[in-house]
Amino acid sequence: MQQFQQYIGGAFEDGTAQFDSLDPATGQVWANMPEASAEDVNRAVVAAETAFFSSEWAGMTASARGKLLLRLAELIAENAPRLAELETRDTGKIIRETSAQIAYVAEYFRYYAGLADKIEGAHLPIDKPDMEVWLRREPLGVVAAVVPWNSQLFLSAVKIGPALAAGCTVVLKASEDGPAPMLEFARIFDQAGFPKGVLNVITGGPKTGATLTSHPKVAHVAFTGGPETARHIVRNSAENLASTSLELGGKSPFIVFDDADLDSAVNAQVSGIFAATGQSCVAGSRLVVQDTIKEEFLARLKEKAEAVVIGAPDDMATEVGPLCTRKQRDHAMDLIERSVAQGAKLITGGHPVDRTGFYFPPTILDCDDARDADSLTNEFFGPVLSVVSFKDEAEAIEIANNTRFGLASGLFTQNLTRTHRMIRAIRAGIVWVNTYRAVSPIAPFGGHGLSGHGREGGIEAALEYTKIKSVWLRT
Ligand code: NAD
């Protein structure tokens, strides 16, 4: 049984309590994780606050912070196989995806390393001749970062990178479902040479998360997870009036017009929904397809979905692995049963795979006769695609926007003017045209409505970790 440790104030500790972590591919306990108590959370926040005001960190130049982030990026690249293996083992995310994503994690840290000394203030041309007025951009303070189980290394990197580039310090709470990659990340971070307490990594469930996000010394909460948890966090942070950035779920429309390149659209839809076994906030979980091509598109999609290789997450040949938890697998069953009872037609999948572990196959539901079906309206973190057809552009827009989420969207068409009209009309933080799921450290990422607020990636993310100080100087 492997033991993992939490990381507080630059020291590794077992924690006062521990919990078991299950291997989603077998359902068996494989590791022991430290569960942060309220006292541990408090020590982590105090360590982060002490570091924030320390001369080593507060007095460090921005370019020196950038150099440390660059060193971290190098260490991540050197340790990529170990990090990817641990994420696969503890969360069931397939090794193909964790190996590819860890390269991105290093890229994001490289990007924020370069950005650290480009976070600028401003000089204001005020209309008083004897005054100099300028704006200083200063770091917010202690950031509480809370992440879910899926893509933990990535979702943490997009918080830690810009926060440290801006000069903040961080307490990261890894998900209780699969924290191993983040606890290992702490070991790598420790070698990069940052002052003690700049990053602290703990884990535990909702109670630990609530203790952290309501801590009076926390200036900002950077959260990725579900909308219900986000509501708790906002209520908790109200006590301190801490700011929040919330990256929540989605019910992203994947819109295909009959003039689209169908091969490319089918391939993008397959990976758009079934990658990460559907446990992705940007999953294109609603196929909105023009009625003239619906039959052909569904036939092609069914063939591809049934050909997907389901297997062990640590096998490079596997394309769809297990869900992260038994609870998710059981939710998938419930959702399908309810949606079929509501009138949705099962095109493929829908029944648990006959093997040990939390497997569930790629599933497609035709919801044309059940437009209120739960699978079409509720966010669900699994490999379930719901399909509806449309007659014309106006109906495509109406269906696409018929959700309180607003994270991502996909649009497949060859018509340029329609593309521009659709981009304007779609209510989502991201519109991917003739592609899906593309990401880059340079491009901001985030949504509106129930998908949250704030941006990760790009310069916007770094600015979210800063506050403005106006300075007036009489000359
Ligand atoms: P969740 O909201 O249940 O948990 C997320 C994290 O919040 C976990 O670390 C959990 O321990 C913590 N938490 C739970 N209750 C808390 C509380 N009261 N106070 C503070 N922290 C608390 O989410 P989940 O089910 O683990 O993850 C899936 C959700 O995450 C989905 O809704 C998905 O769409 C979303 N997600 C969004 C993005 C994005 O970038 N927009 C990316 C990935 C996942």
| Residue 77 CA, ligand 1 centroid: distance in Å | 27
**Identity at 157, one-letter amino acid code:** A
The burial of 448, by beta-carbon neighbours within 10 Å (0-12 exposed, 13-18 middle, 19 or more buried), is given as: middle
Model confidence at 60: pLDDT above 90: yes
- Cα dihedral 428, 434, 438, 442 sign: negative
Query: Quick check: CB of 449 below 6 Å from ligand 1?
Result: no
Q: How confident is the model at residue 7 (pLDDT cuts 50, 70, 90)?
A: very high
Closest to 88 measured CA to CA, from 336, 401, 258, 314: 314
| CB atoms inside a 10 Å sphere around CB 463 | 15
| CB atoms inside a 10 Å sphere around CB 113 | 23
pLDDT of residue 296: 98
Q: What is the mean pLDDT of the chain?
A: 96
- Work out whether strand 243-247 and strand 218-224 pair parallel, antiparallel, or are unpaired: parallel
Residue with the larger pLDDT of the pair 374 and 353: 374
Whether pTM exceeds 0.80 = yes
pLDDT of residue 219: 97
CA distances from 349 to 89, 268, 332, 383 (A): 25, 19, 11, 9
| Residue 167 CA, ligand 1 centroid: distance in Å | 25
Q: Do the beta carbons of residue 424 and residue 403 sit within 8 Å?
A: no
| Residue 162 CA, ligand 1 centroid: distance in Å | 20
Q: Catalytic one among 35, 87, 247, 319?
A: 247
Q: What is the pLDDT of residues 423-447, one digit of tens each?
A: 999 999 999 999 999 999 999 999 9
Q: What is the pLDDT of residues 237-267, one digit of tens each?
A: 888 899 999 999 999 999 999 999 999 999 9
The burial of 255, by beta-carbon neighbours within 10 Å (0-12 exposed, 13-18 middle, 19 or more buried), is given as: buried
Q: What is the pLDDT of residues 136-169, one digit of tens each?
A: 999 999 999 999 999 999 999 999 999 999 999 9
Q: How confident is the model at residue 466 (pLDDT cuts 50, 70, 90)?
A: very high
Q: What is the pLDDT of residues 314-328, one digit of tens each?
A: 999 999 999 988 898
Q: How confident is the model at residue 204 (pLDDT cuts 50, 70, 90)?
A: very high
> Two tokens at 146?
């809370």
Query: Quick check: CB of 377 below 6 Å from ligand 1?
Result: no
pLDDT of residue 127: 95
Q: Give the mean model confidence (pLDDT) for residues 195-212.
A: 97
Query: Quick check: CB of 249 below 6 Å from ligand 1?
Result: yes
Q: How confident is the model at residue 108 (pLDDT cuts 50, 70, 90)?
A: very high
450 three-class SS: coil
| Residue 240 CA, ligand 1 centroid: distance in Å | 21
pLDDT of residue 237: 86
Q: Give the mean model confidence (pLDDT) for residues 346-369.
A: 92
Which of 104, 214, 224 most suits a substitution to test ligand 1, by most atoms within 8 Å of the C-beta?
224
Beginning with the edge strand found earlier in the chain, give each strand of the sheet holding 466-474 in spatial order: 122-124, 131-139, 466-474
> Two tokens at 102?
């860890």
CA distances from 137 to 162, 408, 441, 464, 467 (A): 14, 30, 21, 11, 6
Name which of 12-16, 202-206, 399-403 the model is least confident about: 12-16
Query: Quick check: CB of 150 below 6 Å from ligand 1?
Result: yes
| Residue 229 CA, ligand 1 centroid: distance in Å | 6
CA atoms within 13 A on the CB side of 327: 4
Q: How confident is the model at residue 30 (pLDDT cuts 50, 70, 90)?
A: very high
Q: How confident is the model at residue 13 (pLDDT cuts 50, 70, 90)?
A: very high
Residue nearest atom 15 in ligand 1 by C-alpha distance: 206
Q: Give the mean model confidence (pLDDT) for residues 56-80.
A: 98
Query: Quick check: CB of 175 below 6 Å from ligand 1?
Result: yes
Atom of ligand 1 lying closest to residue 250 CA: 34
| Residue pointed to by tokens 């293996």 | 85
Residue nearest atom 26 in ligand 1 by C-alpha distance: 148
Beginning with the edge strand found earlier in the chain, give each strand of the sheet holding 218-224 in spatial order: 11-13, 6-8, 199-203, 169-174, 142-146, 218-224, 243-247, 452-453
Model confidence at 25: pLDDT above 90: no
Q: What is the pLDDT of residues 270-297, one digit of tens each?
A: 999 999 999 999 999 999 999 999 999 9
Atom of ligand 1 lying closest to residue 233 CA: 19
Which of 208, 229, 404 most suits a substitution to test ligand 1, by most atoms within 8 Å of the C-beta?
229
Atom of ligand 1 lying closest to residue 210 CA: 19
Whether 296 is catalytic is no
pLDDT of residue 275: 93
**Identity at 463, one-letter amino acid code:** L
Give the ipTM: 0.93
| Residue 246 CA, ligand 1 centroid: distance in Å | 10
Model confidence at 352: pLDDT above 90: no
Q: What is the largest CA-CA distance in the chain?
A: 79
Model confidence at 357: pLDDT above 90: no
Rounded CA-CA distance 200/33 in Å is: 15
Q: How confident is the model at residue 1 (pLDDT cuts 50, 70, 90)?
A: confident
